[in-house]
C-alpha cells in the first residue's frame, strides 16, 4: 500500500536559515504529491503540490520537486521566518479521480529570532 515517511521533528532554526524537510514515499503508479501546513490553532492548508515526475511545486517561498527516481518530495525554503513556525505534512494521493490522501507523521518547525 501507499506510505509516506518524513523526517522527525522538531526542527529548530534561526530566522533566515535554510530549511529542508525530507519526505520519501512508497506508492503504486504515479501518485500526486502534496505538502500541507498546520499553523498553531488552525486547520490543514495546502502549501504546494506536484502531479507528475520532475514537476516543481512552489508557494510562499517554499519549493518541492517530485523526484520519481528517488521517490522523494523534499520541502525547501531559502530563508525561513518566525511566521513559518508550524507543522508540515507530506502527503500523496493515488492516480485518478478524487482519492484519499496518505499522510506522513508531520514535522514541527520552530523558527526563532
Residue number, 49 or 77, with CB nearest to another protein = 49
- Please state the closest distance from residue 79 (CB atom) to another protein, in A: 27
Cα 49 to Cα 25: distance, rounded to the nearest angstrom:
14
As measured in angstroms, the least distance from the Cβ of 67 to another protein is 19
Which residues lie across from 22 on neighbouring strands?
none
Q: Cell numbers at residue 50, please? A: 506536484
Nearer to another protein, 1 or 113 (CB): 1
Q: Minimum distance between the CB of residue 84 and another protein, rounded to whole angstroms?
A: 19
Q: How far does the chain reach from its first CA to its final CA, in angstroms?
A: 41
**Is it true that the peptide bond before 61 is cis, omega within 30 degrees of 0?**
no
Complex with another protein: residue 46 or 53, whichever CB lies closer: 46
- Beta carbons of 93 and 100 less than 8 angstroms apart: yes
State the residues that interact with another protein by CB under 8 A. 4, 32, 36, 42-46, 49, 51, 89, 91, 93, 97-106
Of 60, 56, 99, the residue nearest 77 (C-alpha): 60
Nearer to another protein, 29 or 100 (CB): 100
The least distance separating another protein from the CB of residue 53, rounded to whole angstroms, comes to 16
Amino acid at each position: 500500500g501507499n506510505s509516506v515517511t518524513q523526517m522527525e521533528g522538531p526542527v529548530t532554526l534561526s530566522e533566515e536559515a535554510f530549511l529542508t524537510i525530507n519526505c520519501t514515499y512508497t506508492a503504486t503508479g504515479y501518485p500526486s504529491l502534496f505538502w500541507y501546513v498546520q499553523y498553531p490553532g488552525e486547520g490543514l492548508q495546502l502549501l504546494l503540490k506536484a502531479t507528475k515526475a520532475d514537476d516543481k511545486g512552489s508557494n510562499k517561498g517554499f519549493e518541492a520537486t517530485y523526484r520519481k527516481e528517488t521517490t522523494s518530495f523534499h520541502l525547501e525554503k531559502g530563508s525561513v521566518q518566525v511566521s513559518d513556525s508550524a507543522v508540515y505534512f507530506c502527503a500523496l494521493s493515488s492516480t485518478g479521480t478524487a482519492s484519499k490522501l496518505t499522510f506522513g507523521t508531520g514535522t514541527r518547525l520552530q523558527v526563532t529570532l
